[in-house]
């Protein structure tokens, strides 16, 4: 007896409804609900960054005193009048720290944006087009990577002046390389995906392939990487200014630390002149790093470390209802 023949079943509506009945729509932004993004580190990081951004925005309203005015004695210890004491010029430290947040954060975000634009563009172009342009761009990236950042910054600052814009540009121009490499790798991998080949096969031009298919896949990683670059940029601003290359008319955390150093704060036991700006820089960098890493984890689940221990499954006693007769 052979298998009885059945009429081929057509795809029917009921089956279609049944098919999707169990699937909840998740939408494009589904990854935002990934557990990695609810980690305490992410929430802490977000909280800290938001806090400092608000401080920077409302700085003039929050400063108890004019940060540039002499409102107390030199190196006055913290007191109820000056919560963080005063610096070597008698200006209120708390006001200075609050004021400093503006420049530090502006430089951090702006420089990271410059780095992202340069690195992202180079990475995207290199990864998508490959060939000669890839080789050339990657060689350029290697050369820039290899140049020692501090001497380069000193030279550029000496040549072009020390304005805020220049500082932003200097940082941006030096720190785009790792972004470029990361985006190039990601672009290369996305470019090989079947849906990009399919779009090309149906005649889509490169602009469309990049704009609609590749960039959206690469963007989240680019953003995560930019957040990490913010941390680097803030730190870079701090030590550029510490080295005396910053704009002397601007107040930033790096400036405050530099000031404390040249003003012999340590000799005067004036810890309040050094520690607060240092703590602020550290906190913001830490926060950005936490956010960036949590985002990368959410986007790339393979980054999660697998279990290296012996796997132990659990045994369950068979409950009455499960026994076969």
CB of residue 27 vs another protein: minimum separation in angstroms?
Answer: 7
Let me know if 248 is exposed, middle or buried by CB neighbors in 10 A (0-12, 13-18, 19+): exposed
Between 102 and 200, whose beta carbon lies closer to another protein? Answer: 200
CB of residue 262 vs another protein: minimum separation in angstroms?
Answer: 53
Tokens 């052979």 appear where?
2
Q: How far apart are CA 82 and CA 66, in angstroms?
A: 12
Between 39 and 70, whose beta carbon lies closer to another protein? Answer: 39
Between 181 and 213, whose beta carbon lies closer to another protein? Answer: 213
Q: What are phi and psi of 268, to 5 degrees?
A: -95, 10
CB of residue 31 vs another protein: minimum separation in angstroms?
Answer: 11
Between 148 and 203, whose beta carbon lies closer to another protein? Answer: 203
Between 26 and 302, whose beta carbon lies closer to another protein? Answer: 26
CB of residue 116 vs another protein: minimum separation in angstroms?
Answer: 20
DSSP string, 2-30: PPPP-PPPP--HHHHHHHHHTPPP--GGG
The radius of gyration of the chain's CA atoms, rounded to the nearest angstrom, is 28
Quick check: 276 and 84 in contact, CB under 8 A?
yes
CB of residue 115 vs another protein: minimum separation in angstroms?
Answer: 25
Between 146 and 314, whose beta carbon lies closer to another protein? Answer: 314
- 128-134's contacts with Cβ under 8 Å and 24+ in sequence apart are 128/187, 128/188, 128/191, 128/206, 128/209, 128/210, 128/214, 130/188, 134/184
Query: For residue 7, what are the contacts with CB-CB under 8 A and spacing of at least 6?
Result: none
CB of residue 189 vs another protein: minimum separation in angstroms?
Answer: 12
Between 41 and 217, whose beta carbon lies closer to another protein? Answer: 217
CB of residue 181 vs another protein: minimum separation in angstroms?
Answer: 23
Eight-class DSSP state of 147: S
Between 248 and 304, whose beta carbon lies closer to another protein? Answer: 304
List contacts with another protein (CB under 8 A).
1-20, 22-23, 25-28, 35, 193-205, 208, 212-213, 216-217, 307, 310-318, 322-325
* Neighbouring C-beta atoms of residue 154, cutoff 10 Å: 16
Q: How far apart are CA 286 and CA 280, in angstroms?
A: 10
CB of residue 37 vs another protein: minimum separation in angstroms?
Answer: 13
Let me know if 106 is exposed, middle or buried by CB neighbors in 10 A (0-12, 13-18, 19+): middle
Residue length of the chain: 325
């Amino acid at each position: 007896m052979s298998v009885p023949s059945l009429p081929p079943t057509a795809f029917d509506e009921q089956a279609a409804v049944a098919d999707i009945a169990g699937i909840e729509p998740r939408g494009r932004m589904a990854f935002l609900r990934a557990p990695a993004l609810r980690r305490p580190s992410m929430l802490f990081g977000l909280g800290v960054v938001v806090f400092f951004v608000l401080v920077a925005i409302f700085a003039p309203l929050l400063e108890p005193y004019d940060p540039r005015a002499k409102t107390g004695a030199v190196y006055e210890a913290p007191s109820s009048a000056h919560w963080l004491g005063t610096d070597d010029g008698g200006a209120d430290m708390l006001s200075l720290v609050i004021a400093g947040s503006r420049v530090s954060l502006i430089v951090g975000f702006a420089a990271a944006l410059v780095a992202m634009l340069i690195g992202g563009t180079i990475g995207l172009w290199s990864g998508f087009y490959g060939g000669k342009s890839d080789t050339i761009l990657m060689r350029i990236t290697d050369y820039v990577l290899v140049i020692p950042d501090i001497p380069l910054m000193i030279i550029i600052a000496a040549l072009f002046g020390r304005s805020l814009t220049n500082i932003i540009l200097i940082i941006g121009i030096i720190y785009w390389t790792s972004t470029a490499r990361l985006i190039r790798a990601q672009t290369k991998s996305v470019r090989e995906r079947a849906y990009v080949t399919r779009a090309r096969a149906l005649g889509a031009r490169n602009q469309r392939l990049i704009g609609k298919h590749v960039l959206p896949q690469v963007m989240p990683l680019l953003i995560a990487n930019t957040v990490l670059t913010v941390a680097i940029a803030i730190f870079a601003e701090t030590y550029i200014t510490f080295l005396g290359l910053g704009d002397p008319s601007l107040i930033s955390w790096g400036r405050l630390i530099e000031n404390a150093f040249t003003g012999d704060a340590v000799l005067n036991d004036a810890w309040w002149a050094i520690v607060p700006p240092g703590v602020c820089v550290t906190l913001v960098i830490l926060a950005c790093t936490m956010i960036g890493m949590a985002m990368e984890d959410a986007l790339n689940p393979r980054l999660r470390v697998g279990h290296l221990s012996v796997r132990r499954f659990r045994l369950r006693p068979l409950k009455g209802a499960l026994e076969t007769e």
